[in-house]
Structure 1
Amino acid sequence: MSPFITVDGHEALVRWNPSEKLFVGRFLEGEHAGLMFRAPRTDQVEAAAKAALASAKGGQSNQA
């Protein structure tokens, strides 16, 4: 998995945090810079990022 992902036009850096046993991501630029998200598996990282964006925008997401 690349350490960078783009979700809805927003770039994020994602790293494995061994102490939490989670992937931790942080959006890098724009209005959501610094917004963080966490996911237990690589296949859940994008869904977690989308949910964080939706939450920050005041919307709701059905994704975990």
Structure 2
Amino acid sequence: MINLAHDALSSEEINDLSDAVANQIQDIWDYCRNEEGTGERVERLEALNTKLHALQAQRR
């Protein structure tokens, strides 16, 4: 597990990372929908995005 220091990423960087993860999820659905393991990949990315959103909320 990665444990980032409190200010390791700025709010803007967290927002950019969250956007990138959301774009990756959409790309997977658009281009890899029928590949084996797609659902699991998306689930992991969605879990990551949920954590990023929680981190963003803490920063506000």
More strand, by proportion:
1
Q: When the two structures are superposed, what TM-score results if normalisation uses the length of structure 2?
A: 0.31
Q: When the two structures are superposed, what TM-score results if normalisation uses the length of structure 1?
A: 0.30
Larger relative contact order, structure 1 or 2 (CA cutoff 8 Å, min sep 6): 2
- The structure with the larger Rg is 2
More helix, by proportion:
2
